[in-house]
Amino acid sequence: MRRAAAVVTGLVSAFFVFYFVRLLVVTHFLRHLRAGGGGAYVGAVAFPLIAAGFAWATVRLWGHGRTSRRPAA
């Protein structure tokens, strides 16, 4: 179940990375904005933070299934 949640959070993270790159391409790296387009700056900060948060959750969920115990000799 944790691996399924990790896949979902990984896909959400990839979505926000994609949307951040799209934002940069559409706005020509935030140089060409419409009047009142200040929300692009918010997105330029928020999208990578959200993507990093979901990526962190993905790593935590995916790695939680492993055990670090060594077999007794």
Structural domain for 13, as ranges: 2-63
- The pLDDT value given to residue 66: 58
pLDDT, one tens digit per residue, over 21-66 is: 999 999 999 999 888 889 999 999 999 999 999 999 999 999 865 5
Residue 68 forms part of a structural domain: no
CA 40, 25, 48, 11 dihedral sign is: positive
pTM given for the model = 0.81
* 25 within 8 A of 4, measured Cβ to Cβ: no
Question: Which is nearest to 63 in space by CA: 4, 6, 1?
Answer: 6
- The pLDDT value given to residue 37: 87
Instruction: Indicate the number of domains in the chain.
Output: 1
Residue 73 forms part of a structural domain: no
Query: Mean of the pLDDT values across residues 1-26?
Result: 96
- The pLDDT value given to residue 70: 65
How far apart CA 23 and CA 40 sit, in angstroms, is 7
Residue 24 forms part of a structural domain: yes
The percent helix, strand, coil of the chain (3-state, each to 5) is 70, 0, 30
Residue 31 forms part of a structural domain: yes
